[in-house]
């Protein structure tokens, strides 16, 4: 089991009202949004993204739909070419 690390930062209270969320709702949504974006960019795998979001893989796949992100990662032709060497 890996070691857990606490991460914290300060945000202006107006951020929460703009998003119509309280801090308790904001934190899980922030984790999910970061995981979805990193997955979309191909920086992390689907299973790692689900872990970051605090969801099961099937729950994460469902959330991808809400963000209009495909559950399938496509490699660029350059990436495919390099992986075949």
Contact 31, 63 (CB under 8 A): no
The pLDDT assigned to 85 comes to 60
Q: Domain limits of the chain?
A: 13-83
CA atoms within 13 A on the CB side of 84: 7
The pLDDT assigned to 82 comes to 57
Per-residue pLDDT tens, the chain, 85 aa: give them: 679 899 888 988 888 888 888 888 888 999 999 999 999 999 999 999 999 999 999 999 999 999 999 999 876 666 555 556 6
C-alpha closest to that of 39 among 53, 49, 29: 49
The pLDDT assigned to 81 comes to 59
What six digits make up the tokens of 7?
Answer: 């991460």
The pLDDT assigned to 14 comes to 85
């Amino acid at each position: 089991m890996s070691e857990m690390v606490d991460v914290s930062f300060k945000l202006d209270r107006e951020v929460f009202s703009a998003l119509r969320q309280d801090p308790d709702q904001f934190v899980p949504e922030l984790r999910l949004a970061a995981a979805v974006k990193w997955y979309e960019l191909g920086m992390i795998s689907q299973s790692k993204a689900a872990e970051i979001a605090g969801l099961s893989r099937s729950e994460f796949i469902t959330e991808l739909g809400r963000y209009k992100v495909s559950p399938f990662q496509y490699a660029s032709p350059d990436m495919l070419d390099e992986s075949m060497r």
